[in-house]
Structure 1
């Protein structure tokens, strides 16, 4: 029996990146099908969110995500550039967001073909693994190909079906909130949400209770 679950994911979320490779490995090891459900980050959906955080939030988050990467031996570095276009002095989020919209639409197009998790992992390694200018040249095209996709086909969908892809991405966000959570990464299995990169083992434990077996 093959179990199924949904992974809600943002390409701007460091914790999403720190989880997706481990979830990909889980799906390859066990009889498990994971569907990527990409969402736009809080910077797009709620631009003032980060202004309301405690002053210690940013410094702690940076420290924590770096040690998570070290603990799991995951390549990690600040995105170059940030997927979100933002004024570094005022923190104002720009109206035009070409980077995050393009890569998120790619993720949704990949998800349509059942290769979303693989692409999210490959693209995540570009964005968060230290690849400079990850948004230029053929970096994303090669990530699509490594994920088993036709890069030209996906690029055409992103260009020609932007509105349809955005509607699907909005549906992902609605489904995430209906599951009982709102943030990423969140794995939803049989209606139960598991939020955070530190809930992967617990999600596996629950699946094992439901009959998860090795391939």
Structure 2
């Protein structure tokens, strides 16, 4: 049974969980809260699913409260237009990412939103559409025009704003990894555009540069002559 706690109580608890050092680190990535995510998840686990509370938390506009809302909500309870409005309000990277990954992907409206957002003029909104497209490239590619997606990536990724560029690059890499018939072209596009080639990558991690990413993931799966 979910714990009964008032919004004021939860906001006060979030304040006690905030840490200036955590906030400083988060701000380097465009986020504006100082709550450790492990502690935030523990709080969500204690509260359990509470859709009305999720709505109250979201409406505060506070990033930590919104992250908590996304953990205690029922994804299938949202209407299509509600999710669209929420995405347009979610301007910080972590809130944006959690909304897409924890809520929209579980929604019955996901495909309709994917199509609409990918074509949106707002690059932050479009990045959500491309993130959903990359997910579908991996999990449910039937019906996708993969060659057409590569055409768009080739034409637009190099000049795209950072968040949109990252999502398009992820889609490019997944096409190359998951679909051998498109791998040579995906590699060629990555090599020609050089997007994220110099991205700082910690030791032991795979570079997001698409040709390196594709080659490494294919190698881990046993190799392929197409790489």
Q: TM-score range by the shorter chain?
A: under 0.3
Normalised TM-score (structure 2): 0.22
Normalised TM-score (structure 1): 0.22
- Identify the structure with the greater strand proportion: 1
- Structure with larger RCO (C-alpha < 8 A, sep 6+): 1
- Identify the structure with the greater helix proportion: 2
Larger Cα Rg: Structure 1 or Structure 2?
2
